[in-house]
Amino acid sequence: MRFLFPALAATLLVAPAAAQEGVSPAPILTTPDARDVWTYARPEVARVTHVDLDLTADFQRKVMRGTATLDVLAAPGAEEIVLDTDELDIESVTAEDGRPLAWRLGADDPQLGAPLTVTLDDAERITVRYSSKPGASALQWLSPELTAGKQQPYLFSQGQPINNRSWIPTQDSPGIRQTWDATVTVPDDLVAVMSAEMLTPEGVAAGEGRESYRFRMTRPVPPYLIALAVGDLAFRELGPRSGVWTEPTMLDAAAYEFGDVEAMIDAAEALYGPYRWGRYDMLLLPPSFPYGGMENPMLTFLTPTLLTGDRSNTDVVAHELAHSWSGNLVTNATWSDSWLNEGFTTYFENRIMEALYGPERAAMYSDLDWDGLERDIEAAGGADAPTTRLHGEPGATFGQLDYFKGSVFLRTIENIVGRERFDAYLRGYFDRHAFQPQTTAGFLADIRAHLIEGDAELERRLQLDRWAYQPGLPENAVHVESATLAAVDADLEAFRSGAPVSRIDTQGWSTQEWLRFLNGLPRELPAERLTELDSTLDLSRSSNAYVRSAWLELSIANRYEPALPSLRDFTGRVGRGLLIRPLYAGLMEQGDWGKAIAQDLFANARATYHPNTAAQIERIITAPAQ
């Protein structure tokens, strides 16, 4: 690989004076496989190296307004820079000395937004004055009724993969890493937090009942990791470099659930080297947060569906922490290679869980992932389906195969070369590529250079190209099996043989055991068996969101109408896409009966969902019948 075109190499290594002192601009990749089709930017001509935001959160209008000042690194003779935007209202663009700069917005694309092209006129720093739209895809503005405290409004952002262009005009590509800082002004009874070092923890009076908070990120990050939240927030220290933010009513539960985080950091460092981001804090969000977690550096965003009281879902915390190495430290250059982000992280997460809780608990997670792997391959159309490839068109890999197939790939390498040798390789890999973008081709070149080292027999056994570029699952794939889940399988067999549910001892079951059981039940069951399950195990009232979702999937598949009140309650309270998308999809598979229910549920719950989740569900319920 190479990091700059030869003609640019001598001129693009020195950042403008306005950039963070002592920080060189991050390299970019210019190989053909690193071309990002989801950005309008032409970074080989001119690229953003630093973003300075000065924004006000307007809760009445539901917009962010202010300025973004961008440091520009341009090739000799470059006349313009191209930025990504999505429905931003651009007021002006000026140079650092105040000169107005010519600019134009290109045609809008429903997926990519519109390019903002700015004539540089020798400017090395440009300021865009703008505001976002109320429907910005990255931002969700919540009324007080949709929060835990019910008293104050709430705002949070979700940038991955290309949503941040709806509130920040920049080059929104994971391969164009940028340092950044921000001043965010909010109502004085709210607190702002961001994925960066917090310079003003108490805020600074800004007049008119507002306070300003300042933040700084001195490490270059992919722009999708710039994240913001504003609300009635409180903080609890969990360790010397970790803590949790959330609404006050959830603080005690969150502090207990995430109490092992400091030990997780220690375990991660012992595996793959130092944690390079300073603090590792977490933000527990309202239920509309669309994901289990989001690895925003220094401030992981987490769903409240993790609060089960038994720490059985802290694998999500381990996953987001692992992203501090895979994803945040070494980043996929384009979304065609997102398995470099999620597959690496799922493997690393499992190693953290094993270090903390032992091999059997880690085996449970791996075994369940294998179940998901098999389901996704089948749902994609089988082992020959193009969408079962790790490297492909951006966003094309089916389901969670980026996670499952990617992690099994790495586990298979570990099994063949030995854990000690593979750990040493991975630690060196993170060091060699720290704060840089990466491609599948780049990873394969690196592992051949630093692990295989010309060993033709090892190359044959690993089947690297088969794993990375071909569909399906290679025959050398390693399936880790769990003894704990094998016991659940015995309970499943007893159920299938007609044993009453009351004979199954679920006392103390973890989330993973519940999921193995519920997902393993026959998809067609008579109403009396469903009633027995629900009345004995109290599934329709389960406070564990994973359990409830799995039960509702089964109920929908059988048109079990006694579960419909639980379904309405659940889809109206939970906005995590992983848990609600299958419910809407299952309803749509039930023809007119399910379609009417799905449309009614969505009409009532849409306002509580993140814009991205709402758009996904709308596509599900409006898709033409197969």
| Inside any domain, residue 477 | no
Between CA 90 and CA 494 the distance in angstroms is 64
DSSP states of 105-145: E---BTTTBEEEEEE-TT-SEEEEEEE--TT-TTEEEE-GG
Residue 564 has pLDDT above 50, yes or no: yes
**Looking at 263-342, which runs of residues are DSSP E strands?**
280-284, 293-294, 299-302, 330-332
| Cα–Cα dist 332/187, whole Å | 37
Q: What is the pLDDT of residue 1?
A: 32
Q: Which of 435, 469, 503 is the last residue of a domain?
A: 469
Is the same domain home to 456 and 589?
Answer: no
418 assigned to some structural domain: yes
Is it the case that residue 2 has pLDDT exceeding 50?
no
Mark whether 81 and 175 lie in a shared domain.
yes
The CATH number linked to 575 is 1.25.40.320
Check residue 625 and give its pLDDT: 63
Residue 7 has pLDDT above 80, yes or no: no
Per-residue confidence (pLDDT) for residue 626, from 0 to 100 = 55
The CA distance from 475 to 130, in Å, is 54
Q: What is the pLDDT of residues 20-40, one digit of tens each?
A: 445 679 999 999 999 999 999
Q: Are residues 213 and 100 in the same domain?
A: yes
Residues 152, 195: one domain? yes
Last residue in a domain, options 197, 232, 267: 232
Residues 530 and 555 in one domain: yes
- Predicted pLDDT at 23: 61
Which residues make beta-bridge pairs with 63?
A: 58
The answer to whether residue 187 is domain-embedded is: yes
Residue 604 and residue 509 share a domain: yes
Q: Tell me the backbone φ, ψ of residue 497, rounded to 5 degrees.
A: -85, 0
Kindly state the average pLDDT of the residues 267-292.
96
d(CA 138, CA 233): 20
pLDDT of 13: 34
Residues 513, 577 within the same domain: yes
Q: Which residues pair with 178 in a beta bridge?
A: 221
Task: Please name the amino acid found at residue 318.
Answer: A
Token pair listed for 108:
């809008």
- Dig out the tokens for 441 from the structure: 């081709």
Query: Domain span at residue 387?
Result: 330-469
Region 342-367: mean pLDDT is 97
Phi and psi (nearest 5°) for 122?
70, 5
Residue at 238 is within a domain: no
List the Cα angle 5/8/12 in 5-degree steps. Answer: 125
pLDDT the model gives residue 3 = 27
Contact between 2 and 31 under an 8 Å Cβ cutoff? The reply is yes
Q: Confidence band (pLDDT; 50, 70, 90) for 194?
A: very high
CA-wise closest residue to 130 among 81, 65, 214, 211: 65
Question: Which single residue is written with the structure tokens 């969150």?
Answer: 254
CATH number of the structural domain spanning residue 144: 2.60.40.1730
Is residue 609 among the annotated active site residues? Answer: no
Query: With 90 as the cut, is the pLDDT of residue 19 above it?
Result: no
Q: Which structure tokens are listed for 413? A: 């390498």
Q: Report strand pairing: 436-438 vs 330-332.
A: parallel
φ, ψ at 526 (rounded to 5°): -70, 155
- Using an 8 Å Cβ cutoff, are 125 and 16 in contact? yes
- For residue 308, tell me if it sits in a domain: no
Same domain, 73 and 220: yes
The catalytic residue among 197, 320, 354, 414 is: 320
User: pLDDT value at position 20?
Assistant: 45
The pLDDT of residue 395 is 86
Alpha-carbon dihedral of residues 202, 177, 93, 95, nearest 10 degrees? 90
d(CA 23, CA 75): 19
Residue 362 lies in a domain: yes
Angle between helices 315-322 and 261-272 (to 10 degrees): 40
Looking at per-residue pLDDT, the higher value among 290 and 130 belongs to: 130
Q: Which pLDDT does position 315 carry in this prediction? A: 93
Give the chain's mean pLDDT. Answer: 94
Decide if 21 is inside a domain: yes
Per DSSP, what are the bridge partners of residue 93? Answer: 128
* Sequence-separated (6 or more) residues with CB below 8 Å from residue 546: 305, 308, 313, 511, 514, 515, 579
The neighbour count for residue 611, using CB atoms within 10 Å, is 19
Answer yes or no: do 431 and 508 share one domain: no
Two structure tokens written together for 485: 């889940």
pTM reported for the whole predicted model: 0.91
320 in catalytic set: yes
**Residue 97 near residue 39, CB atoms below 8 Å:** no
DSSP string, 37-61: TT----TTTEEEEEEEEEEEEETTT
Within this chain, do residues 153 and 73 fall inside the same structural domain, yes or no? yes
For residue 130, pLDDT over 90 is answered with yes
Residues 6 or more apart in contact with residue 116 via CB below 8 angstroms = 82, 83, 84, 85, 88, 90, 103, 104, 105, 106, 128, 169
- Asked whether residue 17 is domain-assigned, the answer is yes
Query: What is the total count of domains within the chain?
Result: 3
- Those residues with Cβ within 8 angstroms of residue 427's Cβ, 6 or more apart along the chain or in another chain: 271, 272, 273
User: What is the structure's pLDDT at 624?
Assistant: 79
pLDDT grade, residue 312 (50/70/90)? confident
Gap between the Cα atoms of 463 and 450, Å rounded: 16
pLDDT at residue 389 is higher than 50:
yes
Model pLDDT, residue 84: 98
> What CATH number does the domain containing 411 carry?
1.10.390.10
How would you classify the pairing of strands 210-221 and 197-198?
antiparallel
The number of angstroms, rounded, from the C-alpha of 557 to the middle of its chain's C-alpha atoms is 29
Task: Give me the residues paired with residue 231 across strands.
Answer: 191
At residue 512, what are phi and psi to the nearest 5 degrees?
A: -65, -40
Structure tokens given for 30 = 């210019």
Rg (CA), the chain: 25
Neighbouring C-beta atoms of residue 143, cutoff 10 Å? 13
- Let me know whether 451 and 516 are in one domain: no
**What is the rounded average pLDDT of the residues 461-489?**
97
Asked if the bond preceding 274 is cis, omega within 30° of 0, the reply is: no
pLDDT of 9 > 90? The answer is no
Q: Is the pLDDT of residue 18 over 90?
A: no
Please state the length of the chain: 626
502 and 442 belong to one structural domain:
no
Residue at which a domain ends, from 419, 443, 469: 469
Percentage of residues in the chain having pLDDT higher than 90: 91
pLDDT-derived band at 371 (thresholds 50, 70, 90) equals very high
**Residue 559 backbone zone (phi > 0: left; psi -120 to 50: alpha; other: beta):** left
Q: Is the pLDDT of residue 547 over 90?
A: yes
* Token output for 155: 């705002």
Roughly what angle, to the nearest 10 degrees, separates helices 419-432 and 261-272? 90
Question: What's the one-letter identity of residue 406?
Answer: G
| Non-local CB neighbours of 338 within 8 Å, separated by 6+ positions | 161, 332, 394, 397, 402
- Active site residue: 213, 224, 357, 403, which one? 403
Tell me what the mean pLDDT of segment 2-21 comes to: 34
Judged against a pLDDT cut of 50, whether residue 14 lies above it is answered with: no
